[in-house]
Amino acid sequence: MTKRHLRLGVNIDHVATIRNARGGGHPDPVRAADLAVRAGADGITAHLREDRRHISDDDIAALVETIPAPINLEMAATDEMVAIAVRHRPDAVCIVPERREERTTEGGIDVVASRDRLASVVRVLKQAGIEVTMFIEPAPAQIEAASAIEAFAVELHTGAYCNAIAGERERRRNEIAAAAALAERLGLECHAGHGLTYETVGPIAAIPQIVELNIGHFLIGEAIFCGLEASMQRMRAVMDEWRRVAVPALQS
Ligand code: PXP
């Protein structure tokens, strides 16, 4: 499962955040998705939140219809969101916890505590031909539970790693590496994301079992200064260099 090529999923939520600050249609997150794919993104990620604070239902429909790359819909495990996913059939769904008052997704979903509910969500989405990922903290019990409910993948939350100070950051990174190795042993595809920047992405890209990173806020923020294509290309270059050094002999 380990691959030399590390996929970059570009999260376009915050293009919609800027659009929604004024209402209207500009800047259009679907146009940003198209640009990102032309510039080499391996997929597009968008989070349809219960309060629709950034991405809208129409954005999801347009992304699935027009973007020639895999669409990964992040969503809470609610009946409303499951129905939307089944209607639009993105390539993948990433189940995230959601609290209305949070600024961003603050922690991973507790698969252990919500096992039965999540197992039934996985079943419904799988029947619709959608791959299901669980966005979790890098904890062995969560990975084992994700495997037990037959998720396709786990996405390891890198927020605590990114926010940690220097010495602590290495410990957090080692936790993620151990979690990725366990995920692979259990047959789960392993992704990672949240809070990644040019500075923090390298050591995560170097973990060979991780095959996809989902990055949004930093890339969109940097795009203000250098353009989306350039911010993505620089991120890609850092990812690829750390990957090349860490896993030189793997198949691409
Ligand atoms: N992965 C998941 C599951 C997320 O919820 C988010 C944030 O929406 C990201 C990745 C991207 O995080 P960031 O915007 O901090 O790069």
Residue 94, pLDDT score: 98
Asked if residue 251 is part of any domain, the answer here is: no
Q: Is 157 in the pocket of ligand 1 (CB under 6 A)?
A: no
Asked if residue 160 is part of any domain, the answer here is: yes
26 labelled catalytic:
no
Asked if residue 171 is part of any domain, the answer here is: yes
The contacts of residue 109 (CB under 8 Å, 6+ apart) are 77, 95, 96, 97, 118, 134, 135, 136
Q: Is 135 in the pocket of ligand 1 (CB under 6 A)?
A: yes
Residue 98, pLDDT score: 80
Asked if residue 151 is part of any domain, the answer here is: yes
* pLDDT tens profile 186-211: 999 999 999 999 999 999 999 999 99
Decide if pLDDT at 3 tops 80: no
Residue 2, pLDDT score: 62
One of 74, 189, 212, 222 is an active-site residue; which one?
74
Decide if pLDDT at 234 tops 60: yes
- Name the binding residues for 1-deoxy-D-xylulose 5-phosphate: 13-14, 49, 54, 104
Residue 250, pLDDT score: 58
What CATH number is attached to the domain comprising 118? Answer: 3.20.20.70
Kindly state the percentage of the chain with pLDDT values over 90.
Answer: 90
Count how many domains the chain has: 1
Average pLDDT over residues 113-134: 98
One of 131, 194, 212, 222 is an active-site residue; which one?
194
Residue 248, pLDDT score: 75
Range of the domain at 160: 7-245
Residue 252, pLDDT score: 53
Asked if residue 1 is part of any domain, the answer here is: no
Q: Is 90 in the pocket of ligand 1 (CB under 6 A)?
A: no
88 labelled catalytic:
no
Supply the mean pLDDT for the chain.
Answer: 95
* pLDDT tens profile 24-34: 999 999 999 99
* pLDDT tens profile 70-82: 999 999 999 999 9
Cα(193) to centroid of ligand 1, in Å?
6
Q: Is 104 in the pocket of ligand 1 (CB under 6 A)?
A: yes
Q: Kindly indicate the confidence band of residue 116, based on its pLDDT and cuts at 50, 70 and 90.
A: very high
Mutate to test the pocket of ligand 1, among 95, 104, 142, 191 (most ligand atoms within 8 A of CB): 104
Q: Kindly indicate the confidence band of residue 107, based on its pLDDT and cuts at 50, 70 and 90.
A: confident
Asked if residue 62 is part of any domain, the answer here is: yes
Asked if residue 157 is part of any domain, the answer here is: yes
Asked if residue 252 is part of any domain, the answer here is: no
Cα(194) to centroid of ligand 1, in Å?
4
Decide if pLDDT at 87 tops 60: yes
Residue type, 75: M
Residue 62, pLDDT score: 98
What is the DSSP code string of 97-165? ---TT-SS--S---TTTTHHHHHHHHHHHHHTT-EEEEEE-S-HHHHHHHHHTT-SEEEEE-HHHHHS-
Secondary structure element (H or E) that encloses residue 87, with its range: helix 79-88
Average pLDDT over residues 56-83: 98
